[in-house]
A and B are shown apart, each in its own frame.
Chain A
Amino acid sequence: MRKSLILIVLAGLLFVLLGSISEMPGLGGLENPSYNEVPRHYLEHAIDDTNTANVIASIITDYRAFDTLGETTVLFTSITAVISVLGSGVVKFSDKEEKH
C-alpha cells in the first residue's frame, strides 16, 4: 500500500515537472536569461583579471574562492565525521609508530 501511494505521488510530481519544461527557457540558446552579463564578464575579463586561460579555475579559485574554502571544509568535515564513527583514525596507528 505504502509503495503504491509513493508511486502515485511521484508520478504526479514527474507529470508536473515534465509539463513545466515547455515554460522554462529552452536548452542551449544564447538568449537564455542565465547567459546574462555575469558569464560574459567572466569570459571577457578572465584574462586581465586573473591572467589564467582556464576560466573555470579562475572562477573557483578567484572570483568565488570562498565557495572553494567551504569545499575544503566539507572535505575536512567528512574526514572528521568518518573518524568519529569508525573510531580507528589517528590514535591507534600513530601510537604504534611512536613506540618503536
Chain B
Amino acid sequence: MISYHLPVYILVLLLVAAVLTPLRKSAYSTAFKLKVLIFLGLALILSLILFIDVTNNQSFFYNFGDWNTVIGIEFLVDGFSSLMTFVVLFIATLIVIYAFGDIPHELKPNQFYSYYALIFLLLFSMIGMIFTNDLFNLYVFMEILSLTSCGIISIKRKKENLLASFKYLMLGTIGSVSILMGIALIYMVTGHLNMSAAHETIASVWQAYPRNILISLGFILTGLGIKAAIFPLHIWLPDAHSTAPTPSSALLSGLVVKVYVFTMGKILFRVIGKEIVVAISIHEFLTYFAALSMIMGSVFAIGQ
C-alpha cells in the first residue's frame, strides 16, 4: 500500500513549510507566494491520494517508531479522517489564495511571514488532531491549535483585536485544561492513553468506577463546548471573529470549530463507545445544546 507513510509526509510537509517561512528575507514577492502555494498544493495532492487510497482499500493504523499500539503513539487513518483532511486542506488553500491579495491591506510588512507560519502551524495541528488515536497527543495538538488561532486574531494589533484574542486565549486555555483533566481521569481508570486500547477496558471500568467516567466526560464536554463555541459557552466567538483579519476569521469559523466537533465525536464514540453514551443519554444533551446554538445564534443575529 503506497500510502502507509502519507499522513506523516503531509504533517512533515506542513511543519517544514511553517518553519521555513519566517527565515526568508525576500520581500512579499510572487516567489514567496509561489513557495507557499507549492507547499500547500503538495500537501493537498498527498491528502487526495491518501483519501482515494483509503476508500479503496481498508483503513490502517500507523504506529510511530514501530512500537505496538499500547506502548507508542498511533494514528488511525480511516475513510472519514482522510476525507476530513482533504476538505480542511482544500478550503485552506482557497483561503490562502484569497489571503495573498487581502493581507497587504491589513497587516504591516514585517508580519506577513509570521502570519503564514501561523497558518501552516494551524493546519499542521488540525490535521494532527484529525488523525491521532492517542489522547495525550490530541491534547498537544489542541494546544498548538488554540495558540495559533489566538495568534492569527491578535496579529492585527488593534485594540479590540488584542482584547478579543486575550479573552479567546483565556477561555481556550480553560477549555484545554478541563479537557486535560478529563484525559487524566480516563487514564487514571483505564490505564491506556491510546483510544482503542482505552475502549477495550472501558466496559469493565464502567462497572468499577462509573463516577470517574461521568466526571471526565463532564470535563471533556465542557472543554470542547468552550472551544467549539456551543451555545452557553460561546461568549468569545462574536468579538473574536468580527475583529480578526478576514482570512483568519474564515479559517477560524470554517475549519477550527469543525475540528473540535470532530474530536468530540472521536472521543465519545472511539473511547467511550456507544453503549455508555446511550446509557448516560449524552446524545440528548448534545442535541439540545446543538438546537439551542442554532436558534439562539440566529435570534442574536436578527437582534443585532
Contact = CB atoms under 8 A, between A and B. Distances in A.
B155 A84 contact: yes
A25 B189 CA distance: 7
A34 to B, nearest CB: 5
Interface string A50-77: 0000000000001111110011011011
A64 B72 contact: yes
Nearest to A39: B191
Given A38-B191, A70-B141, A80 B110 contact: no
A71 B141 CA distance: 9
B134 to A, nearest CB: 8
A91 B23 CA distance: 10
B190 interface: yes
A83 interface: yes
Chain B interface size, as a band, is 35 or more
A77 B144 contact: yes
B118 interface: yes
A38 B215 contact: no
Contacts of B137: 64, 66-67, 70
Contacts of A67: 73, 136-137, 140
Nearest to B154: A85
B111 A74 contact: no
B53 interface: no
Contacts of B151: 77, 80-81, 84-85
A20 B212 contact: yes
Interface string B114-145: 11011001001100100000001100110110
Contact of A34 (B115, B154, B188): B188
Contacts of B190: 33
A20 B141 contact: no
B28 to A, nearest CB: 12
B15 A87 contact: no
A70 B144 contact: yes
B147 interface: yes
Interface stretch (B62-70, B79-87, B250-258): B62-70
Contacts of B215: 16-17, 20
A42 B70 CA distance: 11
Interface string B186-229: 01111110000000010001001101100100000000000000
Nearest to B128: A70
Contacts of A66: 64-65, 73, 137
A33 B148 contact: no
A16 B188 CA distance: 18
A85 B136 contact: no
Contacts of A91: 110
Nearest to A22: B211
B154 A77 contact: no
17 contacts: A24-B188, A33-B201, A33-B205, A37-B70, A64-B73, A64-B136, A67-B73, A67-B136, A73-B15, A73-B144, A77-B144, A80-B114, A81-B114, A84-B111, A84-B114, A85-B157, A87-B111
Interface of B: 15, 18-19, 22, 64-65, 67, 70-73, 108, 110-111, 114-115, 117-118, 121, 124-125, 128, 136-137, 140-141, 143-144, 147-148, 150-151, 154-155, 157, 162, 187-192, 201, 205, 208-209, 211-212, 215
Interface of A: 16-17, 20, 23-25, 32-38, 41-42, 62-67, 70-71, 73-74, 76-78, 80-81, 83-85, 87, 89-91
Given A38-B191, A66-B64, A84-B111, 18 more contacts: A23-B209, A24-B188, A24-B209, A25-B188, A25-B209, A32-B191, A33-B205, A34-B191, A36-B192, A38-B71, A63-B71, A64-B72, A64-B137, A71-B140, A77-B151, A85-B162, A87-B108, A87-B110
